[in-house]
Structure 1
C-alpha cells in the first residue's frame, strides 16, 4: 500500500492507504510536488487524554471501531479492513471488507478540479443483507467554520441560509421522493464571511433525485466533515448474496476564491460531461398564455405571434390528452383528446413547423389521477395503494410496475408526432415510505431508454417548477425548469443561486406577463426581459394580447439574446459581492475575457442616495474595455445620469474591476444591462 496524491486545476487529494483503514489526509488547495509519504508521516496527530490509545485519524469509512464517535459512513457490520488500493488517471479505487460485506470506494478528480466519491457495498454473506445506510464523508479543516445551504418553497426555491459550524451535526434530510423545493442543494463550508469572490470554501452536492441527506459535522476531537448519502427507509434496499448497492456520487469542489470559484470548476465540468446542443432555442410555452383552453384557432394565432417575435420552439403544455380539462383528472391517459383535437395534434404541429419552429409537449408520466381510465384498469399501479391524501388531486404511479406501459405510450407519441422536446413534470411528493429508491431508479431507466430510442428529443426536468434540480438526473435531461414563478424579482434570487452549480444554458427562464401569475406583482417589461436574458430563454405570456410596442421590444430582446447567447451559454459566470444587498450585479465573461455582459439589478430600495460604484468582476486587468448600455432602459430617479452612460466609456479592466463606474439611480425592481468589449 502507499500514499496517493491526486492533483488537478489547483486541487489536491491525499489518501494514505498504508494502514488498516485508508484515510484522507488532505482535500483542498494544491500541495505541489511533495513527498506525500514523508508528509503523511509528519501529520500523525498526538494522542489526546481520555481517548483511544492510538493517534485518532479520520478514515474513508469512519466508524466506532476506529474511535470515530460522529455520524458513521456505514451503519452496520463489523470493522472494515483495507484489502487493496490502486490509482490510475486521477482515480483511486479502494477495497475494504469484513465478514459480511465488501466495499469498493471510488475517488475521481476531474481535470477541472471536481472530486467525485462513491461507495459500492457487496453482500458477502450467504443470506439477504439489508442496507441500513452507506454515506460518503470528506474532511474539512477547522477554518471551514461557517455553513451555507438552501431551503425554499414552491416558487421560492434555493433560498440561502447561513449558520456557524459548531460542535455537533447540521443535517438536512429530504423525504419527498424528489429533492423538493426545500432541497439543501449544495452545502458549503468556508471561512467565516466567505462571499462570491472571497474566502476559501469546500462544497458538496449529492447527485441523486430521490430521498437523501447531506450534513456537516464538527467533532470535539477536532475533525470536521461534509457527508451525504441516499436516505433509505428500513428494508428499502435488501441485497441477495453477491448483489451490490451503489451510492450516488457525492460531487465536491474546493475553491480559494469564494462561491464563484466553485462555479469556475463545476460549470466547465458539467459542460464537458453532459454537453448540450448549442445554440439553445428560444421557447414559447403555452401554460400561462392559455392554461387548459386548448383551441386550435387560439393556439395557431399564438404560434404566429411567437414566430413573428423570433421564437424557435413552441411547447404545448398541460391539457392536450383525453379528458384533461382541468388539473383534477386524466393523468395517466396519455392519448390525444379527440374531442378537442379531432385530427390529433397534426394541424397544430404542422402549422408550428411551417412557421419555422420546433414543437414540444408537456407530460407527467410519474403521476396518475384517481378517476383516470388507467387507475380503473390498474389500481395496483398506484404507489402505496392510494393511502394518504391526494396532492394536486393526483397520486403517484409506480413507475417500476407501469414501466412497459409508460415506455409504450411515450414511444407511441414520439413516433406519431415530430416532437422535439418533452417538458417532463412531477407535481407532488411521493409520501409513501420505502419507495423512493426503486422509483428513482426506474425513472432513470425510463429516461435512458427513451433517449436511446429517440436521441433527437430533448427533455426538460420540471417538478412543480424547481423541485428536482440535481446532478443525478442531469445526464438524462437537457434543461431544468428553474421555478414555476416567472416573477422577475423572485427569479433574480432563484437563478442567482441555482447557477452556482448549474450553468445558465441548462436553466429555463421565461418572460412572463406584466402581472406575474403566481405573485400578482407588476413588473416593468425591461426588468422582465433582463431577468430572462441569461439562461435558456423563453416566453410564457400570451403575445397576442401584447401591444405593438411590447411586441417590438420582445422581438428586439430575442434578437439580442440570439446575438449574445454564444457568450451567455459558454462563458464564465461571475457575481459581485456588493456592499448594499438592494443592489446586485452578475454577468458572464467570455473564456478569453474579450467580451462580457453584466446586469446591475435593484431588488430593493438602495441604502444611500448615491449607491456604490458598479465594479465588474472577471475582466483582464491589462486590457481596455468599452462599456455601453444595451436593452430596454431601466426606470431611474435622478436629475442627471452619470455622464459615461450617454456614449459609453473605454477603460482598463483593472479600473473597471477595482474602482468601477458611478451607478445610475435605479428605482427598485429594475435592471441595467451593460455590454463590455
Structure 2
C-alpha cells in the first residue's frame, strides 16, 4: 500500500437511521450495520416517518451490482474511499510518516435535536457533524484526530453531499477585479467540474456558491442544491457525476504539501460546508440563507449611511478639505465618515509605508483628533482604513524586520505579505491596532487586503491567524465594527462574516457593473452586509458616465454610502442626495430585514429585483434597463413575492430619464391598486427608460 492511500475497514456501527427535518427540507442518514454512515436523502422533507419506514427507504435505495464493478452494491458514505468502490475524489487523503496504515475500523453514531454525528475510529478518528437549522440550512464538517504514534501528514479532508440525477445543470461564478460574481452555467457531465482558489483568499474569481439543479432553473423556479465553503483561504469546490451514476457537490480546504501535519493526539477541523436545497429556484436559497445568517450574525445597530473619502480626495489629505467634506456629509444626512488610505506615516501614494501604522505627523500635526471632532460635530461617527496583513518593501517596518515578510511571494501592487503566523509580527499588528482604537474614538475599521498571498504552504496559517486577530480585536473593542474589503469583493465568505459587520462588495461604484455584482452576491449574503456607494457621475474605475437616478437606485439597496467629493457637487445634486438618504433611512428596516426577490426576465437588458417585508405588507422594487430593450414596448414588470389575495397600491418613488411620448396611464395617474396575484402574474406596463437607467417603486398593502 502506498503512503498516501487511505483504506477503511469497517466493523459494525451503532444501529441508527435518523432523519433531520426543518422548513420543508429533509435529510436521512443511514448509520446501520458494517458500512460507514451515508446520507440516503437530502432534499424535500419526506414527512415524519418512523424508523421502520426510514429503513425501508434506505434499503430500497440500495442499487444493483453492475458488470465490471466491485461485487457489492455501490455505497457513497460521508467519507467515501476506494474501499467503498468510489473512484472519484476520496474524502480523506494523507499518510503517517512511519507508514502506519490509515484505517477506520469502528463506526459509531449519535443524534440530537437538529444534529447528527458519526465517528470512525482506528489509527485515526474522524467525526462528522451535521446540523440542520430551523431555516433548512445544512452545515457539515469533519474533525480529524491522530490516534497513531507518528505524525500524520494531511493532504485532503473534504466534504461531499449527494445530489440526485435530475441535478444536471451547474452554476458557479468567476470574475475579475471590479467585476466580481460573473455567473457561468453548464451541463454536469461525467467527471468533475472543479474550481480551485490559490489566492490565499477566495479571490475575485471565487466560485462563491456552487449550485446544481434541474435544467433551466431560475430565480423563481426549479429545484436546486447549493454549497458554499465558509473559509477565507485556499479552497476547492466541485460538482462531480460518476460514470456509475451518483453525483455529488463537494468542497474542502486546499492544503499545500505539508501545510497541515498532525502530531500524535493533535486535531484538525475542516471549515463548515454550508448547503441548501430549494424547490423554488435561487430565491428559495436566499429565503433560507438570509434569515439563517441574520440569526447567527446579528447586526448591533442599523447600517449607517457612510461617506468614504477615497474617491473624494484619494491621498490628498488635509484637515481643511476633509473638515469641509465632513460638514457637507453631515448636512446631507450621512451617519459615518470613513477616512481612507493616506493617513499614516509617509503614505503619499500606494508604493510605500504599509505597516507603519502611526498617524502621519506632517499631515496631521495634532493627530486625527481635530478631524474626528469635526466629524462628531457634524453628527457622524468616525471610521478608519487599514491594511494590516500587508507591508510595503520600502516601509520602516520591512526595513527593521525583513524576517516578518513572507518569503517566496512577489510584490503585487508594490506590497508584500506580512507573516501573521510569526508571533512577533502578529503581536506588532495587534498592538498598533489596539493603540489606534484606544487613542481615538474609532467606530469602524475598513479592513483591506489588496493582493493575493502567492506564497507556498502558508494560506492555512495565514487565514487562521487572521481569524484569531479579528477575534482578539472584537473582544478588546466590542463596539468597533469591521468591514472586510479585499481589493473590493475578493474575500466575501461565511467564514469571515462571523467576525465582520460589512463587506465591500466591489471596488467599482459604476452602477451598470454593480447591478449584476450585487444581484448575484446577494443570493448568498443578505443585502445589509453588502456595501454599495453613490459615486460621481464619471465612475472612477470604468470612466463611464451615468445618470444620478441610476446611481441612486443601485446604491439604495444594501449598506448604502457615498464615495464622491460633495464639495464639487452642485446644489441640485446635494439636494437630490439629501432626499435619497432620507428615502433610504425610511426604507432601511424593510431593505435590511425583508425577503430579497428577483424576477426572471426574458430580455437580458431588463432586471427586476426587490425586497418584500416578512409579513408581505410592504415592498420596494427596482426596474433596471442595463441596455436597450429588445422591444419598443418591453414586457410588463411583474412583482414577485407578494401575497396573492392581498390588495396592493404601487407608487413610483424615483424614475430615471425616459424615451416616450406618453407614460403608461397608471404611472401618469400616480398609482394603481391591484391584487398581489395580478401584480405577480400579469404585472404593470413599464416606463420606457433609456439604457442604463432605473425606476423605483413602492408597494403597500
Q: CA deviation at 1:277?
A: 2.1
Match of 2:390 among 334, 343, 367: 367
Match of 1:508 in 2: 531
Does the 8 Å CA contact 1:131/1:235 hold for their aligned counterparts?
A: yes
Match of 1:635? Answer: 657
2:690 is the alignment partner of 1:676: no
Residue 30 (structure 1) aligned to one of 18, 21, 45:
45
Select 1:59's aligned residue among 54, 58, 77.
Answer: 77
| 1:641-677, Cα deviation, whole Å (9 max, x unpaired) | 1010122100000000001111111111000000000
SS of the equivalent of 2:399 reads helix
1:49 corresponding residue in structure 2: 67
Query: Is 2:109 the counterpart of 1:94?
Result: no
Whole-angstrom distance in 2 between the partners of 1:641 and 1:47: 67
Q: Cα RMSD over matched residues?
A: 0.8
State how far apart, in whole Å, the 2-side matches of 1:81 and 1:611 are.
Answer: 64
CA distance in 2, matches of 1:537, 1:224: 41
Q: CA–CA distance in 1 between the matches of 2:341 and 2:397?
A: 18
1:68 matches 2:86: yes
3-state DSSP of counterpart to 2:523? coil
Distance 2:301 2:16 in 1: 45
Q: Is the 8 A contact 1:21 1:80 kept in 2?
A: no
The separation in 1 between residues aligned to 2:103 and 2:606, in whole angstroms, is 54
Q: Tell me, what secondary structure is at the counterpart of 1:132?
A: strand
Whether contact under 8 Å (1:629, 1:672) holds in the other structure is yes
Residues in 1 aligned to 2:357 and 2:257: alpha-carbon distance in whole angstroms: 35
Partner Cα distance (2:365, 2:623) in 1 = 50
1:644 maps to 666
**Which of 608, 612, 616 pairs up with 1:585?**
608
Q: Is the 8 A contact 2:659 2:690 kept in 1?
A: yes
User: Structure 1 residue 305 and structure 2 residue 323: aligned?
Assistant: no
Question: In 2, distance between residues paired with 1:368 and 1:163?
Answer: 41
SS at match of 2:79: coil
Task: Please state how far the C-alpha of 1:129 moved relative to its aligned partner.
Answer: 0.9
**Cα shift readout 1:131-189 (whole Å, capped 9, x = no counterpart):** 11000000000000000000000000000000100000000000000000000000000
SS at match of 2:673: strand
Structure 1 residue matching 2:156: 3-state secondary structure:
coil
2:533 touches 2:561 (CA, 8 Å); kept in 1? yes
8 Å CA contact 1:22–1:82 kept in 2: the answer is no
The correspondence for 2:169, drawn from 146, 157, 162, is 146
Q: 1:614 aligns with which of 609, 619, 637?
A: 637
Normalising by structure 1, report the TM-score. 0.99
Cα contact 1:65–1:79 (8 A) shared by 2: no
Shift of 1:79: 4.5
CA distance in 2, matches of 1:539, 1:286: 9
1:91-130 correspondence runs (5 A): 91-99=115-123, 101-130=124-153
Shift of 1:507: 0.3
Q: Give the equivalent residue in structure 2 for 1:289.
A: 312
1:3 equivalent in alignment to 2:17: yes
Q: CA deviation at 1:48?
A: 1.0
What are the within-5 Å matches in structure 2 for residues 229-308 of structure 1? 229-308=252-331
Residues 330-353 of structure 1 show CA distances to partners (whole Å, capped at 9, x for unaligned) of 000000000000000000001101
Deviation at 1:388, TM superposition (A): 4.5
> What corresponds to 1:400 in structure 2?
421
CA contact (8 A) 1:203 1:254 kept: yes
Measure the CA separation in 1 of the matches of 2:294 and 2:118. Answer: 28
Find the counterpart in structure 2 of residue 328 from structure 1: 351
Question: CA separation in 1, counterparts of 2:635 and 2:328?
Answer: 41
The 1-side partners of 2:106 and 2:212 are apart by 29
Q: Distance in 2 between matches of 1:357 and 1:530?
A: 23
Equivalent residue for 2:576? 553
Deviations 1:560-611 (A, max 9, x none): 0000001000000000001111011000000000000000000111000110
1:367-388 Cα shifts (integer Å, max 9, x gaps):
000011111111110012xx34
Aligned residue in 2 for 1:655: 678
* Match status 1:433 vs 2:456: yes
User: What CA deviation, in whole Å up to 9, does each residue of 1:58-82 have, x standing for no partner?
Assistant: 1110011110001111123645344
Gaps of 5+ in 2: 1-14, 96-101
Conservation of the 8 A alpha-carbon contact between 2:590 and 2:612: yes
Count of matched residue pairs: 673
Contact 1:3 1:16 in 2 (8 A): yes
Cα distance in 1 between the residues matched to 2:193 and 2:508: 30
Secondary structure at 2:667's aligned position in 1? helix
Q: Deviations over 1:453-507 (max 9, x none)?
A: 0000000000000000000000000000000000000000000000000000000
Corresponding position of 1:215:
238
Indicate the residue corresponding to 1:541 in structure 2.
564
Conserved in 2, the CA contact under 8 Å of 1:82 and 1:94?
A: no
Structure 1, 400-409 or 321-330: larger mean CA deviation = 400-409
Deviation at 1:389, TM superposition (A): 2.7
Matched-pair contact (CA < 8 Å) for 2:510–2:544:
yes
Cα distance in structure 2, aligned partners of 1:420 and 1:389: 34
1:445 corresponds in structure 2 to 468
- 8 Å CA contact 1:8–1:113 kept in 2: the answer is yes
Q: Which residue number corresponds to residue 84 of structure 1?
A: 108
CA contact (8 A) 1:626 1:649 kept: yes
Counterpart secondary structure, 2:211: strand
CA distance in 2, matches of 1:388, 1:203: 34
Q: Secondary structure at the match of 2:155?
A: coil
Q: TM-score, normalised by structure 2?
A: 0.95
Rounded to whole Å, the distance in 1 between the matches of 2:622 and 2:90 is 45
Alignment CA distance shift 1:87-1:440 (3 Å): same
**Secondary structure of the structure 2 residue equivalent to 1:314:** strand
User: What SS is found at the alignment partner of 2:632?
Assistant: coil
Q: How far apart, in 1, do the equivalents of 2:301 and 2:602 lie?
A: 36
* C-alpha distance in structure 1 between counterparts of 2:311 and 2:83, whole Å: 58
Cα shift readout 1:386-425 (whole Å, capped 9, x = no counterpart)? x343101000000121111111100000000000000000
